[in-house]
Amino acid sequence: MSDPYASRTAVHEQEVDGFGSVRIVPLDPAADAPLLHRWVSEERAAFWGMNGLCEQRVAEIYAHLDTLDTHHAYLVLKDGTPAALLQTYEPHADRVGEVYSVEPGDIGVHLLLAPAAPEGARSGWTGGLVAAIATYILVVLDRGRVVVDPDVANEKAIARFLKQGFTAGPTVVLPEVDLPDVHLPEKKAQLAFLSREVAFGG
């Protein structure tokens, strides 16, 4: 079976020891909408904020994001299979920039992991993906610090980030965003940070 993502130029490729090959490719809003719709419609993805949206609306949201210079979306592939949805953004151009002191070199990240395989939990899965993602963001993009803002009620995501070396920051309230193309309700979030020094030891 041919790899449907082979034609996309990866922004980053990495062999992660004991895990496999990780490729990060730009999201194609139209082509990837069916896959993303399945992921974001699951109950486990409720905190992603797209439960109940139709596939067309999901495609429209990512098509809009694709027009922005400050926000980017990618598929993270593990051995050619979609493993996560990665979004990066400039904190100064996002609502999170209103609730903490943005430092030069900061970059925001949202990460949605693919549903677990039928056989259940995958040991080292998150660590392997985060290793490649951190290398892309902190080394390839030459950024100094990653900021994440999971919902305070999303205990699994918070624990996952802390396990991967993130340091918990303040609990904040992200203001509502109500624009023609984007609506985000107010959110109580737990900020967490990962610096290049912590991730790579210097």
Query: For residue 82, what are the CA distances in angstroms to 117, 129, 155, 178?
Result: 12, 11, 24, 31
Per-residue confidence (pLDDT) for residue 57, from 0 to 100:
93
Residue 1 lies in a domain: no
Residue 90 within a domain: yes
Q: Is residue 4 part of a domain?
A: no
Tell me the two tokens of residue 42.
Answer: 């699951």
35 lies in some domain: yes
In a domain, 130, yes or no: yes
Give domain status of residue 3, yes or no. Answer: no
Residue by residue, pLDDT tens for the chain (202 residues) are: 567 898 999 999 999 998 999 999 999 999 999 999 999 999 989 989 898 899 999 999 999 999 999 999 999 999 999 999 999 999 999 999 999 999 999 999 999 999 876 555 567 788 899 999 999 999 999 999 999 999 999 999 999 999 999 999 999 999 988 766 667 789 999 999 999 999 987 5
**179: part of which helix (H) or strand (E)?**
none
Structural domain total, the chain: 1
Cα 43 from Cα 124, distance rounded (Å): 23
Domain ranges, residue 55:
12-200
Beta strands in the chain (DSSP E): 12-16, 20-26, 71-78, 81-89, 106-113, 145-148, 167-174, 177-178, 183-184, 187-195
Answer yes or no: is 79 within a domain.
yes
What's 50's domain CATH number? 3.40.630.30
Q: What is the pLDDT of residue 120?
A: 55
56 belongs to a structural domain: yes
Whole-number pLDDT of residue 117:
63
